[in-house]
Amino acid sequence: MLFIRSLLYFIGSVISALVIGPIAFLLFFMPINLRYKLISQWAKFNIWSLGTICNLKINVIGKENIPDKPCIIISNHQSTCETLAFQTIFKHQTWVLKESLLWIPVFGWGLALLAPVVIDRGDKLAAIKKVMKQGADRIKKGINVIIFPEGTRQPYGKLGDYQNGGMAIAKKANCDIIPVYHNAGKFWPKGKFVKHPGVINIVIGKPIDPENKKTSTLTKEVKDWTEAQSLSIQ
């Protein structure tokens, strides 16, 4: 039964992408905030579909900590679910991501229309400089920047090494850092097709002011907070 529910979800996800995708491409000339509003409907549909078909719900803790001004959102990375769920929680956003994702048919093309910060993992120094410059530019334009500092999805219950890129953007842009922890991998595991019913908890921490703090200090502060949440949110 879980497989059938997951299959129905997948079919709905593909069909909705094929509907919204071509419309988004035709409206590429629109201002980016309008493009985002349209394209993000796909993520919102998928979250609704997860709840309706797979009985996989989202519970947000600490929503009052989200500031009105754009910020850097730093989150652990366990599955595809959080990239969808965040679009139902935070305002206009974009992501720091690897270039290969933009080549995925329909999905990647949609990402390209939302001005992501694209990095080449082969050149770490150039990638950091690009992340800082383009990330600060997105903040200046009123767009939240979401970063998964582990770089890739981790198994549920495990945290990878946190990189300093997001903290460097925050210092350059002089904006707050919002730490986020979730347990999505418990119900939608990395690389798995079947989604399990349950409640995904997404915890949003209080804003962190990067002023007068080193990037390494900020990274440790965020990771320490995340580890503490992982122990209390199972």
Handedness of CA 212, 214, 215, 218 (dihedral sign): negative
Q: Helices (H), strands (E): how many in the chain?
A: 7, 7
134 Cβ partners below 8 Å, 6+ apart? 117
Q: According to the model, what pLDDT value does residue 30 have?
A: 81
119 vs 179: which has the higher pLDDT: 179
194 Cβ partners below 8 Å, 6+ apart? 2, 3, 6
pLDDT in tens, 96-132: 877 766 677 766 677 777 778 887 766 667 777 778 8
Highest mean pLDDT among 37-41, 88-92, 211-215, 230-234: 88-92
Task: Convert 188-200 to b/e letters by CB count within 10 Å (16 or more is b).
Answer: bbbeeeebeeeeb
Domain 2-232 is in which class? alpha beta
pLDDT in tens, 18-75: 888 888 777 777 888 888 988 899 999 999 999 999 999 999 999 999 999 999 999 9
Q: According to the model, what pLDDT value does residue 106 have?
A: 66
Q: In what order do the strands lie in the sheet with 144-147?
A: 56-61, 198-204, 177-182, 72-75, 144-147, 93-98, 117-119
Amino acid at site 97: L
Helical spans, DSSP H, in 54-193:
81-89, 107-112, 124-140, 165-173
Amino acid at site 35: R
Structural domain boundaries in the chain: 2-232
What's the whole-model pTM score? 0.91
Closest CA to 68 of 83, 85, 40, 90: 90
